[in-house]
Amino acid sequence: MILGLTTLAICSSVVNAIGFSNTINPTFEGELIHKNNTEMIGINKKIDDLIVESQKKLEQMKIEEQKKIKQMKIETKSKELIEEKKAKQKQLVKKQEDNIEWITFELTFYTNLASENSKYGGITCTGDKLRDGMVANNVLPLGTEIRLKGYGTVTVSDRGGKNFNKMHRLDVYVPRQDGESNSEYYKRVNNMGRVKVKGYIKK
């Protein structure tokens, strides 16, 4: 019994000597709080950075969206202006056509072969080489431009036989196709026959 009490007394003295206590060391507690505060500050900074970055991205997206909307408006306006211009052109053409004196032209067709021209072959009465878009007529002045439906604009550049002593009679020059022989060329063009077409003399 005496030995047990002595041992207990010795243990109690050792505990007191090393300063053991149930309370936390104030210095350690302060360091722990400081560490936690530092970590929270770091976390808060990351959150703030993420918020700022998100705001920047949102602003950039808004700018890009505004650019797209602006571009779409420009494109839409351009299309509207183009359509408006086309409509005005159609109205102008219709107005001009309403004031046009339409003529029914009678067309025949010829080649550049000597048999259908002079001994010099495929040249006009003025010595120019026959080209696509040239016609012969003995009444209209040389250089007169005529708009023919389905044929476009042709120019009086040559003279013909007595059959073309009328204003509405035109002999239309037809170019030779690649690799076409004289007989093939002649047959193709003469098979085009005689055609009546609406047109007008361009002023």
Short-list 106, 120, 167, CA closest to 141: 167
| Residue spans per domain, the chain | 58-99, 103-201
More confident residue, 28 or 87: 87
**Architecture of 103-201 per CATH?**
Beta Barrel (2.40)
Confidence of residue 15 (pLDDT cuts 50, 70, 90): very low
pLDDT in tens, 54-109: 888 888 888 988 888 988 889 888 888 898 888 888 888 777 667 789 999 999 99
Q: What is the pLDDT of residue 25?
A: 61
Alpha-carbon dihedral angle through residues 122, 128, 133, 138, given to the nearest 10 degrees:
-90
Q: What is the pLDDT of residue 176?
A: 96
How far the first Cα of the chain sits from its last, in Å, is: 145
Containing 95, the helix (H) or strand (E) segment is helix 26-98
- CA-to-CA distance for 155 and 146, rounded, in angstroms? 6
Q: What is the pLDDT of residue 3?
A: 43
Percent of the chain surpassing pLDDT 70: 82
Q: How far is CA 73 from CA 68, 77, 80, 130, in A?
A: 9, 6, 10, 52
More confident residue, 37 or 97: 37
Q: What is the pLDDT of residue 29?
A: 64
- CA-to-CA distance for 24 and 14, rounded, in angstroms? 19
pLDDT in tens, 120-155: 789 999 999 999 999 999 999 999 999 999 999 999
Is residue 197 within 8 Å of 153, Cβ to Cβ? Answer: no
Is residue 106 within 8 Å of 171, Cβ to Cβ? Answer: no
